[in-house]
A and B are shown apart, each in its own frame.
Chain A
Amino acid sequence: MRAAVEARERTKVPPEAKRATVTAERRALVALVGNPNTGKTTLFNALTGERARVGNYPGVTVERRVGRLRLRPGRDAPALAREIDVLDLPGTYSLSARSAEEQIALAGVLGLSGHPAPDLAVVVVDAGQLLRNLYLVLQLCELEVPLVVALNMIDEVAGGEPDVASLAEWLGAPVVATNARDGVGIEALRRAVAEALVAPHAPAPAFSVPYAAALRRDVEALRPFVLPLLSAAQPPASARATPAARDRGVPDVESDSRVQSPVSPAELGAQAGSEAAPVGRAGALALWALGSVDRDDELVDIDPTLRARALELQARAHADGRDVDAEIIATRYELLDAEVPRLFARTAEPGAAEQPTDARSAARAQTEKEDATTATGDAAPPARRRSLPLLGARQAPPPASEKRRALTDRIDRVVLHPVVGFVVFVALMLLMFQALFSWSAPLVSLIEDAFGWLGAQTRAALPAGFVSDLLVQGVIGGVGNVLVFLPQIILLFLFISVLEDSGYMARAAYLMDRVMRALGLHGRAFVPMLSGCACAVPAILATRTMERQRDRLLTMLVVPLMTCSARLPVYTLLIAALFPAGAVLGFLPVQGLLMVAMYLFSTLVALGAAAVLRRTVVKGESVPLLLELPPYRLPTARSVVRQVKERALVFLKEAGTVILACTVALWVLLSYPKPATPEPVGPPEAVAAWQAERLEHSIAGRLGKGIEPAIAPLGFDWKIGVGLVGAFAAREVFVSTMGVVYGVGGDDEEVEPLREKIKADVRPDGQPKYTPLVGLSLMVFFALACQCMSTLAVVRRETKTWKWPAFLFAYTGVLAYVASLLVYQLGRLFGLAG
């Protein structure tokens, strides 16, 4: 009881303290938390105007988006003129965690493990899934995180919305009804955030979770061990910036208790042992540790003593026949099941949705009105908590959400139909593939032509020499190499965003789970794998539709094995030059069969590699499927455009620079040192011959000759070696590099002369140099080796380390070498002409 009163007291902040915080020029940080599929990101964009800085959380490769919310002085809150950083935390159903990735939610709201502590959390709640969403809110309340609740997607429950005022009163925190998609309630939310930031304080909920006595004893036993964690937590940015309030001795009860002492007044109540008192901040963290720490968890920054103690308590509880996880979770749900229906009881007042409800005044009013029976938040299950026959049995759903559900069910009857469902899936995937493969082609050639033209203009404008060469071949060529990926990235992300936002992607994963599981891949790995048949670069960017780093990594490591379109010119050249145009069995064209065989081969190797890597390099237990199938929603153009734009920019900024640098480096390798004779002006044959000489003379040429002994067992000579070096820029460059080597010019449109040259090339003993066996060996090498700097650059961007691209390069290289060696040597063994 005392605790509850004190908790209430804390909410009354003296005016001096208020002023002190307001004048702080320090930018405050607001964290956005919420379940997945609650429109959190839409709300983030509505608040911040869609300009997010994209980075990573410390230690894990989970994308971190920070935007800036501008508060208007005078309008949003009097005397408050500043910008606020808004952090979009990953969507989560709960703060409990078993991996470092899942731990971000807790660390992000409390400021642990190097995360900056937010001054305030805006928790986004799906109004149509209120009860389940309140589970997370309840955890945040227990942790005494200053809150503003955004009751989002309020439009979807029209006619059956929860009462905003009751909810605010119950949670002891401001609640604003919003519909982020249509921008409804955003102004009110902005105001509520501004007001809450004036003096952030922990929520003062009217409830406390009635944990059983045994569990409370566990919490008390663990409490001392979580205290260091809390005192290590960073104080919120704005609190750091306003020591003035404390220096002046202003009794800023709230921020003092939060910042300086890990023990909150609620804690004192809990320590006094009152049975249904809130567990307090440290108690909530103790509960978190009890429910999250595990013998084989992958949490970070957990103190060994805390870990040992938590495990010990779990073991003891287990020996007593108790189930700690179920105790924690079921007690919370019992409370929610008993209390939440009440929040629907009153009908919402007209216009309430637009008004932020001030929880403090609501709570105060309530305290005045009623006396200390149920309203003080003395949680004992109130009298109205009759034993509900069924937990989670819903009350009559609001008509709007009922309609949506019915529509979703109708769509699902088609989309998840045993036959029609797969037809729809295959059709969508074919469409996506067609777009990547064919529709992007004109855009790609447009970009190539534009850069070709730009190069020619530059060359004409500048005197011939190093600067001109560097600009044209290094820089302009490099930028072209980067931009050339954009059409495919844009098209792929257009598809992915529409499929994700509509809710179809979850259905696709549901449909394909059986197949993908058999292959050892995540259900959502299908899209990246298929995209990999067009190009590995957008495909690797697409892996982020999977939540877990392990699934993403596994997919990234095998996608480059799929037959991308850049391999096709190489295959085409080799097949056309070295294999007969005849037919097998009278009707199957040899050349066509070979092409199909290459596709089949690479797909099988990719799946095999996935199976091996899953058991070795990216080991770890596979996490069971748990998929929410959200109701279908019409994707908004705005959201789709934003996602595409964001992905494209991230690619340009982070992978683009690496690709550009590699292009310049490769240009140096292929051009220097120059031969003594200057480039002849005259017949193209002379120029081509000079170019061939230059290439042979260059570092790459020497490299090709240097590695000749190593690649000779594969059937390759130094010229192919040079081609392989050149192909690192992009596989199809192999064709033009070979063109230069053979002195027929680097025009990759005109492969006829190159084909003839290749056919005609002979070894010193007069035998043809290129036999079908050499061609096969070379194609196998191309199928397997990840000799593509752009792919490696994107893998680096997505994993944030050079370790994984290095591993990818090495393992595919070894695989390619061994496979080609086997093909060539076994082929010769069986009497084929080497």
Chain B
Amino acid sequence: MTLAEATRKVPVIVRRVGGERAFRRRLMELGLVPGTEVVVEKVAPLGDPLELSLRGCRLSIRRAEAGAVDVEPIRACDDAADELLLAAE
């Protein structure tokens, strides 16, 4: 799944950031590195661009570029594993 296809308001995890080199570099430098949790907060009224929330800040990128970012949903079992980890500590 790509970030462009992610459901609004549902957190997903970045797997791979693709796209034009300078742009993907800037995206990653803004914290969108693999493993980061990101939420598509809003879609602009005309359908593009998207408003993302990551690491507590709001960014806007277009659908075309979001389409080059691979994401995956946070699965329920991950959450369970986290809780176990925390409990173990």
Contact = CB atoms under 8 A, between A and B. Distances in A.
Interface of A: 93-94, 96, 98, 128-129, 131-132, 135, 291, 294, 297, 325-326, 329-330, 333, 386, 389-394, 397, 401, 412, 416-419, 421-422, 506, 510-511, 513-515, 517, 621, 623-630
Contacts of A394: 55-56
Given A98-B22, A392-B36, A513-B60, 5 more contacts: A390-B35, A390-B74, A391-B35, A624-B64, A625-B65
Nearest to A295: B21
Contacts of A510: 44, 49, 51, 60
A629 B31 contact: no
**Nearest 3 CB-CB pairings of A with B:** A514-B46, A418-B45, A627-B60
B29 A96 contact: yes
Contacts of B48: 513-514
Query: Most chain-B CB neighbours within 10 Å: which of A397, A416, A506?
Result: A416
Contact of A96 (B19, B25, B37): B25
Interface string B72-88: 00100010011001000
B24 interface: yes
Contact of B49 (A326, A391, A421, A625): A625
A754 to B, nearest CB: 48
A724 to B, nearest CB: 42
A625 B58 CA distance: 14
6 contacts: A132-B57, A325-B21, A326-B34, A392-B55, A416-B42, A511-B46
A626 B26 contact: yes
Contacts of B59: 626-629
B7 to A, nearest CB: 18
Contact of A93 (B29, B49, B85): B29
Contact of B51 (A333, A397, A621, A629): A629
Interface of B: 13, 17, 19-31, 33-38, 42, 44-49, 51, 54-62, 64-65, 74, 78, 81-82, 85, 89
Contacts of A623: 22-23
Contacts of A514: 44, 46-49
B62 A513 contact: yes
Given A294-B21, A510-B44, A93 B26 contact: yes
Contact of B60 (A333, A517, A629): A629
A624 B20 contact: yes
Nearest to A129: B57
B28 A392 contact: no
Given A94-B26, A629-B59, A390 B36 contact: yes
Contacts of B65: 624-625
A514 B35 CA distance: 30
Contacts of A325: 21, 24-25, 28
A605 B20 CA distance: 32
Contacts of A401: 56
A422 B45 contact: yes
Contacts of B62: 513, 517, 624-625
Contacts of B21: 294, 325
A389 B29 contact: no
